[in-house]
Chain A
Amino acid sequence: MGKLKILVVDDEPGICSGVKRILSNFTVTYPFMEENIEFEVDDVLTGEEAWDIITTKPPDILLLDNKLPGISGVEILEKITKEHINALVIMITSHASIDIAVKATANGAFDFVPKPFTPQELKSSVENIAKHIYLKKMTKQMKVEGKQIRFQFLSVLSHELKAPINAIEGYLKIIKGKQIGDNLEDYIPMIDRSLARINGMRNLIMDLLDLTHIEAGKKKRELKPVNITKTAQIAIDTIEPLAIQMDIKIHLHADNDFIITADPEEIEIIFNNLLSNAVKYNKKGGSVDCYISEEPNSIRISVSDTGIGMEQEDIPKLFKEFVRLKNEKTRNITGTGLGLSIVKDIVQLYNGSIEVKSKLDQGTTFSLSLHK
């Protein structure tokens, strides 16, 4: 992406030269990016001079002091927003003028740095903005190239991947700094939480692979007669060890070998997700009941548990990507928030439907039908 142009507008020459010095050797790198982002810094002392440059050769980034002798920083910001000028603004505000900073953000400033700022603070603000510009260019390009990449999905994904990394990093720092003393035992819960988060990330990656298989549709679906009853039994056998640990009994109720024309892998994913949810969100000593039956044009499957259940208002959220119902009861259960959205996608491939009934503290039932 090469160089980004930065214009510094500040009536204190010291600030201008300081910013120039700080950013002169500063580069920003970003995963997937071929070249580093560098910066070319110009400066002016008044708002009027700045406006001339903005209207003739707009910079990519504007570092704007609010207190200027003539036209003020906030006024320039307003004009930029009004005239839809394509420059992102970082406001430089004097210490403690949070009001101005908030007003500036409300008026379209991308960020603000309070004076006096350290080189690090300036750099991190500029880094954020540079990445933002890069991503914007990239999305634009993707649209131009007609790539149907779901950008929203990617950004949520990056959030989901970053959260566990932050959590684990936080614990490691606490451990490294021996922040709660020298007794190793005291740190075990933090290590356990870190391991749980790592496990969650691993599951997320597995689910992502499933999801891309289905959504990309590139993998050839292999439709052939599938014995649903047998597939259910295999899934139950797989989840059994976890169920035994939690003292949960799984029962399969199917009085026949039901056959459907389907992709075996997809049917496996359905059972694996529903059954593992029914076990994970169950209570010690509970049970899981899986019913399979046949109707003239469809196969009906239902999976009921005697688990923690959920509030009615939470049900509609379940099938959205990355949604996990977070509360005290689900805290120690690892999940990716992708499983049910995958199941829903698959069910749609079979012109089917899926519904949920749940009672808090009593259990949940997922019922679905697949067109034969």
Chain B
Amino acid sequence: MKDKNKKTILIADDDYDYLFQMKMKVESFGYHVVTAESQKEAEKIIQTLKPDLAIFDLMMETDDSGFILSYRMKKLYPDVPIIIATGVNAEAGYSFSVNSEEDRKWIKADLYLDKGIREEQLHKEITKLLNIKDTKNKS
């Protein structure tokens, strides 16, 4: 049963196991979690659901699925913060192909996180983004 006071977080990731574990973690922080296993599925979900925050994997159907999703999402709900979680980081040799100015302009995520992020830090980042959103909406 969904608790009306709980904030809803949408998580999209094509790695079933990672998705399952993220859902467990984020639920333990006290949020309601909706999951999608692909960019496509997430796009369908946001047509009917406005989450309070979204966490997208970068590489799903394509190398930039996460960016496309956040672009579409910000068009629908400009105020919903988006975190892009990626396993492809500087360590892997390329910093998510946002090397050209053109790419950067349309990337709409609020935060990039490495997938190996510690649980407490993830919790902190989510709370922080949600707080900023609440303050903005009130003012």
Residues on A lying within 8 angstroms of B by beta carbon are 96, 98, 101-102, 105-106, 110-111, 121, 128-129, 131-132, 135, 139, 151-152, 154-156, 158-159, 162-163, 166-167, 170-171, 174, 179, 193, 197, 326-328, 331
Q: Which 4 A-B pairs have the closest CB atoms?
A: A167-B17, A132-B90, A170-B21, A155-B93
Determine the distance from Cα of A286 to Cα of B131 in the docked complex, in whole angstroms: 54
**A-side contacts of B87, CB under 8 Å:** 159, 162-163, 166
**B-side contacts of A197, CB under 8 Å:** 17
Determine the distance from Cα of A170 to Cα of B109 in the docked complex, in whole angstroms: 25
Chain B's interface size range is 35 or more
Q: Is B132 a contact partner of A96 (Cβ separation < 8 A)? A: yes
Residues of chain B in range 82-115 having any CB-CB distance to chain A below 8 Å: 87-95, 104-105, 107, 109-112, 114-115
**A-side contacts of B92, CB under 8 Å:** 155-156, 158-159
Q: Is B17 a contact partner of A98 (Cβ separation < 8 A)? A: no
Dominant SS at the B interface? mixed
**A-side contacts of B90, CB under 8 Å:** 110-111, 128-129, 131-132, 135
Q: Is B16 a contact partner of A331 (Cβ separation < 8 A)? A: yes
**B-side contacts of A98, CB under 8 Å:** 110-111, 128-129, 132
Determine the distance from Cα of A171 to Cα of B19 in the docked complex, in whole angstroms: 12
B18 an interface residue at 8 Å Cβ cutoff? yes
Dominant SS at the A interface? helix
**Besides the known contacts A152-B94, A167-B18, A193-B17, 12 further A-B residue pairs in the complex with CB atoms under 8 A apart:** A101-B111, A102-B109, A102-B110, A106-B107, A111-B90, A128-B114, A131-B90, A158-B91, A179-B24, A326-B60, A327-B37, A331-B37
**A-side contacts of B88, CB under 8 Å:** 155, 159
Residues on B lying within 8 angstroms of A by beta carbon are 14-18, 20-21, 24, 28, 37-38, 59-60, 87-95, 104-105, 107, 109-112, 114-116, 121, 128-129, 131-132
Q: How far is the CB of A353 from chain B (nearest CB, A)?
A: 26
**B-side contacts of A152, CB under 8 Å:** 93-94
B89 to A, closest residue via Cβ: A128
- Give which listed residue, A156, A162, A193, A326, contacts B38 with CB less than 8 A: A326
A151 to B, closest residue via Cβ: B93
- Give which listed residue, A96, A128, A166, A174, contacts B91 with CB less than 8 A: A128
Determine the distance from Cα of A101 to Cα of B78 in the docked complex, in whole angstroms: 18
Determine the distance from Cα of A170 to Cα of B132 in the docked complex, in whole angstroms: 29
**B-side contacts of A162, CB under 8 Å:** 87
Q: How far is the CB of A60 from chain B (nearest CB, A)?
A: 14
Determine the distance from Cα of A197 to Cα of B59 in the docked complex, in whole angstroms: 18
- Give which listed residue, B38, B115, B121, contacts A166 with CB less than 8 A: B115
Contacts A132-B95, A159-B88 given; indicate if A171 touches B21 (C-beta within 8 A): yes
**A-side contacts of B18, CB under 8 Å:** 163, 166-167, 170
**B-side contacts of A155, CB under 8 Å:** 88, 92-94
Interface centre among B16, B37, B104, B112 (most CB of A within 10 A): B16
**B-side contacts of A331, CB under 8 Å:** 16, 37
Determine the distance from Cα of A166 to Cα of B116 in the docked complex, in whole angstroms: 7
Q: Is B14 a contact partner of A167 (Cβ separation < 8 A)? A: no
**A-side contacts of B131, CB under 8 Å:** 96
Q: Is A328 a contact partner of B15 (Cβ separation < 8 A)? A: no
Q: Is A174 a contact partner of B21 (Cβ separation < 8 A)? A: yes
Q: How far is the CB of A216 from chain B (nearest CB, A)?
A: 21
**B-side contacts of A111, CB under 8 Å:** 90
**B-side contacts of A110, CB under 8 Å:** 90, 95
**A-side contacts of B91, CB under 8 Å:** 128, 131-132, 135, 158
B40 to A, closest residue via Cβ: A327
**B-side contacts of A166, CB under 8 Å:** 18, 87, 115-116
Q: Is A167 a contact partner of B21 (Cβ separation < 8 A)? A: yes
Q: Is B37 a contact partner of A328 (Cβ separation < 8 A)? A: yes
